Amino acid sequence: MEHQHPRHRGPGRRRPGSRIGLDEAVELTRTGDLWLFRGHSAADHAIRVLTNAPVNHVGMAVVLDDLPPLMWHAELGKGLVDVWSGKHQRGVQLHDLRAAVGQWTGRYEQRAWLRQLDVEVTPAMEDALLASIARLDGTPFPSTAALVGRWARGRVRRAAPAELTYCAEVVASSYVAMGLLPDDLPSNYYDPGTFWSGDALALQHGARLGQEIAVDV
């Protein structure tokens, strides 16, 4: 099946500091792009303070064939149907991207940013991503305390048990499977702020992530 969205993004990237609406952001989004969120709830603030991160949630875009753009992430809520399982569930989920951004900016009252990935996403990388989705979908999301404990363990490069996973782990695991990140760090080494431009990700194969683009919803 022919892809409606080109896998490689060259000219036409948005300039750092620009702002765009949700419709344009969804149209621009390609597989591997990052969506980052910052909220003001007690849990959001605790995650940012304890991990020293500027954001508290990260998701990854999945744009394949004639499917609508999707978001691959993990959260406690179950307000949206998981596209992979076809049911409402907590934990690791694959959602309609527009609906997911609407929930995070509306119901959860968070600010949103898009970071565009500049690399050719090959069919083999897509297959690896789908394998990660099949493996991780439905994995429970930890409590805030357990999340911070997993992250702290990861910072000393100790892997945490696989029965739980949080949003940054989902993105990191998917990037590793696609060959975009090396596999020398446990997934719980990463936190949402790791995917903000102030941190340096060791991306491979010439991949680059653009600066954050604020998305107005």
**Above 80 in pLDDT, residue 199?**
no
Query: Which of 190, 185, 72, 186 minimizes the C-alpha distance to 139?
Result: 72
CA dihedral 174, 6, 104, 81 (to 10 degrees): -70
DSSP 185: S
d(CA 142, CA 163): 9
User: Residue 9 has what pLDDT?
Assistant: 44
Of the listed ranges 14-18, 69-73, 144-148, the least confidently predicted one is 14-18
Give the number of other CB atoms < 10 A from CB of residue 149. Answer: 15
DSSP label at 206? Answer: T
Element spanning 177, H or E = helix 167-177
Q: What is the mean pLDDT of residues 82-94?
A: 96
Determine the Cα–Cα distance for residues 155 and 149; give it in Å rounded to an integer.
10
- Rounded to whole angstroms, the Cα distance separating 206 from 217 reads 32
Query: E-strand spans in 101-168?
Result: 111-115, 117-118
pLDDT cut 90: percent of the chain above it: 70
Annotated domain spans of the chain? 19-216
- Looking at residue 104, the DSSP 8-state letter turns out to be I
Residue 17 CB-density burial (10 A; 0-12 exposed, 13-18 middle, 19+ buried): exposed
Q: Are 168 and 176 in contact (CB under 8 A)?
A: no
Q: Enter the pTM of the model.
A: 0.88
Task: Measure the CA–CA gap between 194 and 203, rounded to whole angstroms.
Answer: 12
pLDDT band at 14 (very low <50, low <70, confident <90, very high): low
pLDDT in tens, 25-39: 999 999 999 999 999
Q: How many angstroms separate the CA atoms of 91 and 93, rounded?
A: 6
- The CATH number of domain 19-216, selected from 3.50.50.60, 3.20.20.140, 3.90.1720.10, 3.30.450.20: 3.90.1720.10
Mean pLDDT of 60-89: 95
- Give, to the nearest 10 degrees, the angle between helix 123-136 and helix 167-177: 140
Sheet architecture: strand order including 70-75:
19-21, 213-216, 111-115, 34-38, 57-62, 70-75, 91-96
pLDDT, position 8: 42
